[in-house]
Amino acid sequence: MTITTDQSTVVIDALRAVLGADYVVSDRAGLGVYELDASDEAITGIHRPLAAVLPETTEEVAEVARIAAEHDLPLLARGSGTGLAGGAIATQGGVMVVTTRMNRIVEVNLIDRYAVVQPGVVNLDLSTHLAPQGFYYAPDPSSQRACSIGGNLGNNSGGPHCLKYGVTNNHVLGLEVVLPGGEVCRFGGPSAENPGHDLTGLIVGSEATLGIITSATVRILPLPEEKGVLLATFESMETASRAVSATIADGILPSALEMMDKVTISAIEAGIGAGYPRDAEAVLLVELDGPTQTVGEERERVAEILSEHGAMTLSVAETAEEAELLWWGRKAAFGAMGRLAPNYHLTDTVVPRSKLPEAMQLVAEVASDYDLIIANVFHAGDGNLHPLILFDRKEPGIMERVLDASSVLMQHCIDLGGAISGEHGIGIEKNDALTLMYSDIDFGEMARVKRALDPRDLANPGKVFPSNFDRFGEPLD
């Protein structure tokens, strides 16, 4: 969005009057931090906002929103910058609300089992804070050591334990939201039942295209009495996939079922040494939790099922330290890919769990057809795939090949009854690909909701909806 120098000065002065000069970033060097997130800049590009502000309270966010609206400027939110779909970059300039100072755990209620947190609270910090009191926060994206709860809410993030406990939306009781015009709304609350339209559910997963979350009331759970972690190796990803379905079909619901292929194993072992057998074509990391006796019984039964369905070796983490190392290897998998290639493109898709064997075969076919190396590391329990296409950006024509392969993978997953994103969001990386899933009528209804809360399209414009979404329903004002 074009804005004159005089207008910029007026806006920045107004922002400084609200927040103080120290918390308004407007110089070129300072804004460099906010020009991109963790997505692939070759796809999403580098975009500089007019200003990045670091508020501390809801009232400050509301004032910032009013200033942006007065000058018809886009308003977007950014947490820790770990997003992988370009959802938190300023593609149309405007004012970026950075929530890192909004990092307070406001309230913990152990009796009613909820916590009230600001959006800048780092995911893992909430569980660390709750642990001495015997509680934790279940949603745990692989980036939980760095990602913020606000970003998790925006993308409705998942994680290894969403198999048993569900994604972020399943743990949100209420929200405080600043709308693009500066109005402060409160949806839901500590009560488990809230009549009327589920506006909390509408906001979660909307990627700040309807407003900015400034506070969340989230469900907290008691720490399980016992955890058991098993590692199984298989001769192929297809065999491991069938073992996953067999485990769930037996009536056992592990807290997590994570799968990695040989390419991923080699990267993890080279970088971390988590203890994954290097000669395995696939490994399955299984976690069980609950009462000690139940975990013991289920661990024995899971071991039997995996052996019956092709597991070549089985090992059990004997100590908490061993279990932690196995999990650290899984959660550090994306970062470890740098040992194999300078770049990777992540295709976050979902298929029904029963379709995992077919999906793995299709991934292998795409890798062969496009002459690419694709590493697989994913939440096998709920079918949330993460094919990582490894490449070197310096190779002529490689980006076109990578993106073509990614598009084919997405279409394959849709054909299997899945979706093009399981937890990383749509942002601008996949907004045009969303047409693979939804019709003109679908987008028209979404556009009506968007216009109701954001009639001037100021809230994170250009995200989620396809680039030509104005053709759906009435164009935005």
Note the pLDDT of residue 337.
Answer: 94
Note the pLDDT of residue 356.
Answer: 94
Out of 3.30.43.10, 3.30.70.2740, 3.40.50.720, 3.40.47.10, which CATH number does the structure's domain 341-415 have? 3.30.70.2740
Please give the DSSP secondary-structure letter assigned to residue 133. Answer: G
According to DSSP, the β-strands at 256-261 and 221-222 are unpaired
Locate 135 and state its tokens: 């509680």
User: Who's near 277: CB < 8 A, 6+ residues apart?
Assistant: 233, 265, 283, 313
Domain locations in the chain as residue ranges: 5-98, 105-222, 226-333, 341-415, 440-471
CATH topology classification for 5-98: 3.30.43
Task: Report yes or no: 406 and 40 within 8 Å, Cβ to Cβ.
Answer: no
Neighbours of 328 (CB within 10 A): 14
pLDDT single digits (tens) 77-106: 999 999 999 999 999 999 999 999 999 999
Please give the DSSP secondary-structure letter assigned to residue 223. Answer: P
Half-sphere exposure of 437 (CA within 13 A, CB side): 22
Task: Report yes or no: 417 and 358 within 8 Å, Cβ to Cβ.
Answer: no
CATH topology classification for 226-333: Alpha-Beta Plaits (3.30.70)
Locate 288 and state its tokens: 């069980």
Note the pLDDT of residue 245.
Answer: 93
Task: Report yes or no: 187 and 199 within 8 Å, Cβ to Cβ.
Answer: yes
According to DSSP, the β-strands at 212-219 and 172-178 are antiparallel
Phi, psi of 356 (to 5 degrees): -55, -45
Locate 246 and state its tokens: 């067999």
Provide the sign of the torsion angle of the four alpha carbons 339, 342, 347, 348, taken in this order: positive
Locate 205 and state its tokens: 């997963």
Strand order across the beta sheet in which 114-117 lies: 105-109, 114-117, 212-219, 172-178, 184-188
Same fold, 226-333 and 341-415: yes
Q: Position 412: which residue type?
A: H
pLDDT per 10-residue tile (average), the chain, 477 residues: 85 98 97 93 92 98 98 97 95 97 98 98 98 97 95 95 95 97 96 88 97 98 97 96 95 96 96 93 97 97 97 95 94 92 93 94 97 96 94 95 96 96 93 92 92 95 87 53
Note the pLDDT of residue 471.
Answer: 57
Phi, psi of 52 (to 5 degrees): -115, 125
CA gap 235, 66 in Å, rounded: 59
Q: Is 54 left (phi over 0), alpha (psi -120 to 50) or beta?
A: beta
Please give the DSSP secondary-structure letter assigned to residue 466. Answer: -
Phi, psi of 270 (to 5 degrees): -70, -35
CA 235 → CA 106, 243, 280, 311, distances in Å?
Answer: 49, 12, 6, 8
- Please tell me the pTM assigned to this model: 0.94
User: Who's near 221: CB < 8 A, 6+ residues apart?
Assistant: 113, 135, 136, 137, 138, 165
Secondary structure of residue 447 in the 3-state scheme: helix
- Helix, strand, coil fractions of the chain, as percent rounded to 5: 40, 20, 40
Locate 140 and state its tokens: 């745990």
End-to-end CA distance of the chain: 15
User: Who's near 45: CB < 8 A, 6+ residues apart?
Assistant: 36, 86, 89, 91
Note the pLDDT of residue 474.
Answer: 55
Q: Which of 309, 297, 287 minimizes the C-alpha distance to 231?
A: 287
Q: What is the CATH number of domain 105-222?
A: 3.30.465.10
Average pLDDT over all residues of the chain: 94
Residues belonging to the chain: 477
CA 385 → CA 134, 180, 410, distances in Å?
Answer: 32, 34, 10
Neighbours of 193 (CB within 10 A): 5
